Amino acid sequence: MALEKTYSMIKPDGVRNGHIGEIIARFERAGLTIERMELGMVTLEQAKANYAEHEGKPFYEGLIKYVTSGPVVKMVISGEGAVKKCRSLMGATNPAEAAPGTIRGDFGLVMDENVIHGSDSVASAEREIGVFFA
């Protein structure tokens, strides 16, 4: 595996429910490095840029409203195979299908508020890092 950078974001429900510390600890225990981190709001422009591939889908408007509804933790994470490692730690997108021991399996309650976002490829990570840490 190669040294990679990826983007991850603890979503408003993860922040609101007090899971920031445990989520960061899971990344660090997996041998990943948090290179940059910021607590803040996602702007409407950032949300639309990040989720542009979903525009026009039935859940798009709700997703944009949700991700801009409260503070998030934006992170640049690096390490060997960081994209795949982060995706594995997060678990399935639907918390009901996420394995116990994954972030979504342990903290996610519903599909619409699934605690965390993570880039799905190195190319997506580069784009998303540019959106949130321009």
Give the model confidence (pLDDT) of 111-128 as tens digits.
889 999 999 999 999 999
Q: Which alpha helices (H) appear in 6-81, and where do they start and end?
A: 12-16, 20-29, 44-50, 60-67
> Do 111 and 99 form a contact (C-beta atoms < 8 A)?
no
Q: Provide the 10 A C-beta neighbour count for residue 51.
A: 17
pTM: 0.95
pLDDT average, residue stretch 60-81: 97
Active-site annotation, residues: 117
The pair of three-digit structure tokens given for residue 64, joined into one six-digit string: 């944009």
CA–CA dist 7, 125 (Å, integer): 5
1: pLDDT strictly greater than 90: no
pLDDT average, residue stretch 66-82: 98
79: pLDDT strictly greater than 90: yes
Torsion sign, CA atoms 131, 37, 65, 110: positive
